[in-house]
Amino acid sequence: MKRLLHWSAWATLCVASGAYAHPEDTVRLKLEYNVSHDSNYFRVANDAQALALLGSTDASVTTHRVGAGVDADLRFGRQVVALRSNFTQVDFDRVILKPSTELNARVDWSWVVGNQLSGSLNYLIQQNLQSQADVSTTEQSKQKQTVMGFSASYQAHPSFFLDFGLSDATFAFSPSSRKVLDRTERIHSLGWRMPTSAGNYLGMQYRKTEGDYPNQLPARPYEQTELNLNGNWAPTGVSRIAWAVGQTRRIDGPTTQRQPTWSLSGNWAPTGKLSFNASVSKSVGSSDTATVSTTTTTDNATLGATWLATSKITLSGTMRSQNVQFDEARTDQIRGGGLTLGYQALRSAQATLSYDTERRNSSVGSADYRYERWSAGLRAEF
């Protein structure tokens, strides 16, 4: 970890070397506070499970989050460096849950060489608490994700682009009882795009992921290859559709899967105050739950709407559906939705009030749960 931080600091210094203040440079400080009440924080299936786990049928938890961060966009010449960071202190109203911290930091260098070559260099580190779903203990779990990535795009013709990407990622879990879930991934991607003057495009992408669970005995490597045709289309001036369709092949230990995968999403804004969005997708990947390390096949569907009631008040709602297949051992059906009310008190300050609910029905009875969560937050930028 220290070596990665040293390299990222060195890269940032190299990028910043010779930089000068630009009229469009922006640096914004952020402060955030959020309080939420979750009726079933431990994601227990019923009162009997709660009594065995907690010694009480009350599985609710109130959580307080206090955060601070910096957003900066720095320009020098045609290059742009974007810095995003946030540090959060998390406290709970139950003594069995210890105070914790979360960290999110990202550096993106968008570079340009000549008139035909451009791309980005990225570094990301996230350290977040995981959901208590599937844990079956009061022990808290964290996931630390570190990603270093590079991408490039070459304009071979006025209407034809070649794209390349490479990234290395590590996913580390704590405490030590979760270390068996640690994994590493390297992703390569190649593709082409044919954009139009209207902002539409048609493209194709090949993507290969090579991963490993180094702490499992024996170590369990996996490989995933994806080939898809994708595009973006604006049928009208107030609507846009993005889509992708292809085939995914995944080798995970002794198991090989071949699945058609796809995604479709759209946005429609019939008026200046009302907009709708929807998406459906099918994907194959690695499980990130706190206890399960296996290949998952996931079907997702979402529907949302946003209404700008006044210049200061925004109301948004979402509905979501997810079906998750964990190899052949388990199937989950998850249904949920929520409402959020936002109030822009000042140009630099916003208040939000939200409600969210979710229910999971699983083929493993002890993995069922339902929760309701209320939260209120304040956010200010300077």
Model confidence pLDDT, tens digit, residues 82-115: 999 999 999 999 999 999 999 999 999 999 999 9
Q: Higher confidence at residue 9 or residue 242?
A: 242
Beta bridge partners of 208: 188, 225
Residue 53 pLDDT level (bands cut at 50, 70, 90): very high
- C-alpha separations of 79 from 19, 59, 108, 167, 292 in Å: 10, 50, 11, 21, 42
Q: What is the pLDDT of residue 24?
A: 61
Residues 104-163: pLDDT tens digits?
A: 999 999 999 999 999 999 999 999 999 988 888 888 999 999 999 999 999 998 889 999
Assigned fold of 22-152+216-381: Porin (2.40.160)
Residue 172 has pLDDT above 70, yes or no: yes
Residue 23 has pLDDT above 60, yes or no: no
State the DSSP H helix or E strand holding residue 284, giving kind and residue range, or none if neither: strand 274-286
Q: What is the pLDDT of residue 15?
A: 37
Residue 337 has pLDDT above 90, yes or no: yes
Residue 25 has pLDDT above 80, yes or no: no
Q: What is the pLDDT of residue 288?
A: 67
Residue 236 has pLDDT above 90, yes or no: no
Residue 291 pLDDT level (bands cut at 50, 70, 90): low
Q: Higher confidence at residue 262 or residue 9?
A: 262
Residues 304-325: pLDDT tens digits?
A: 999 999 999 999 999 999 999 9
Q: What is the pLDDT of residue 316?
A: 98
